[in-house]
């Protein structure tokens, strides 16, 4: 029997934090806007402290927990689970194309480039699971095919683990950068991911458990779809009828993003999904 290093919260958290720190971000927020947002944030905090008469022990535990979130590298996880869905919502109202969803903490650019008809990199033990075939077209808003469009696809394996955030997996397992054919078509063979559980051994998981909530996201595929002159889409696709679809801890499902794969004669689960991109 072989053993694997099982992923830890601190391992995946620190990997996510290191990935994020690799880029430096800026925003053109004015002092007036910063002041307005910060004033309201602090007023909200003040109001809840008074309303709930938050105690000194609770205040000290909060401080300690916030320190733990940072030291465990879990700021990307915590923020993407509880905050990103609102950011995505307010920033996508003007788009008419395929619905977006949150990016989450586990995107890595630069996955191996693959042709329009391809199989994602996977291990023999992944390959033992039924194949999932996702196919369709990338188009503009009028339905014209976008040849040479890029689909970046990343997802968890059948145990809910993401490559580069779990030490036992090959670097690019279940990640790929797919280029559509001249008509904008693609056909990707992979496997169905398992639902994702927020690591229970880190501060985010302890908080969720302490509040009596559940730590699950429904099974999902992550996608980033881009084409020159078009608005990039970051989204996720889910599986109709799957566990946690209506109770995602990250509040990131949308009815337009449900897949319903059907078995073909070869025992593969096959489903079509088209992506329509807004102009940039």
Distance of CA 78 to the CA centre of its chain: 13
- In this structure, the strands spanning 233-239 and 175-179 are unpaired
Least spacing, CB of residue 87 vs Fe ion, in Å: 16
Any idea of the CA torsion for 67, 71, 75, 78, to the nearest 10 degrees? -80
Residue whose structure tokens are 């014209």: 144
Binding span for ligand MBD by CB under 6 A among 32-40, 103-111, 180-188, 224-232: 103-111
Nearest to 147 by CA among 29, 241, 277, 16: 277
102 scored as a contact of ligand MBD (CB under 6 A): yes
Going from the C-alpha of 171 to that of each of 121, 160, 261, the distances in angstroms are: 10, 16, 28
Count of chain residues binding ligand MBD (CB under 6 A): 11
- In this structure, the strands spanning 216-217 and 150-155 are unpaired
Which residues ranging from 54 to 113 are in contact with Fe ion (CB under 5 A)?
Answer: 104
208 scored as a contact of ligand MBD (CB under 6 A): no
Residue 9 or 116 with smaller CB distance to ligand MBD = 9
217 scored as a contact of ligand MBD (CB under 6 A): yes
Which residues ranging from 154 to 193 are in contact with Fe ion (CB under 5 A)?
Answer: none
Figure out which of the listed residues 15, 78, 81, 153 binds ligand MBD, where binding follows CB under 6 A.
Answer: 81
Residue 82 or 273 with smaller CB distance to ligand MBD = 82
80 scored as a contact of ligand MBD (CB under 6 A): yes
- In this structure, the strands spanning 131-140 and 220-226 are unpaired
Q: Which residues of this protein are in contact with Fe ion, per CB under 5 A? A: 104
- For binding to ligand MBD (CB under 6 A), which residues are involved? 77, 80-81, 102, 104-106, 196, 217, 250, 252
């Amino acid at each position: 029997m072989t053993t694997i290093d099982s992923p830890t919260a601190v391992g995946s958290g620190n990997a996510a934090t290191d990935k994020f720190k690799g880029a430096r971000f800026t925003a053109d927020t004015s002092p007036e806007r910063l002041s307005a947002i910060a004033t309201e944030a602090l007023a909200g905090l003040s109001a809840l402290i008074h309303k709930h008469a938050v105690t000194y022990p609770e205040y000290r535990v909060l401080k300690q927990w916030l320190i733990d979130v940072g030291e465990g590298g879990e700021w990307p996880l915590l923020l993407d689970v509880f905050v990103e869905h609102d950011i995505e919502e307010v920033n996508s109202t003007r788009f008419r194309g395929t619905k977006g969803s949150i990016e989450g903490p586990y995107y890595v650019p630069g996955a191996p480039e693959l042709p329009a008809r391809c199989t994602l990199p996977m291990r023999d033990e992944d390959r033992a699971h039924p194949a999932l075939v996702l196919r369709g077209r990338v188009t503009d808003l009028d339905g014209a095919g976008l040849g040479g469009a890029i689909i970046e696809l990343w997802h968890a394996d059948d145990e809910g683990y993401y490559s580069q955030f779990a030490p036992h997996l090959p670097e690019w397992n279940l990640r790929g950068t797919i280029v559509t054919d001249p008509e904008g078509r693609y056909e990707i063979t992979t496997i169905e991911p398992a639902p994702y559980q927020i690591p229970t051994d880190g501060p985010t998981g302890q908080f969720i458990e302490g509040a009596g909530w559940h730590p699950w996201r429904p099974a999902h595929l992550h996608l980033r779809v881009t084409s020159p002159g078009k608005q990039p889409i970051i989204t996720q696709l889910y599986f109709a009828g799957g566990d946690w679809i209506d109770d995602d801890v990250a509040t990131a499902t949308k009815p337009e993003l449900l897949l319903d794969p059907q078995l073909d004669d070869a025992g593969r689960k096959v489903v079509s999904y088209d992506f329509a991109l807004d102009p940039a």
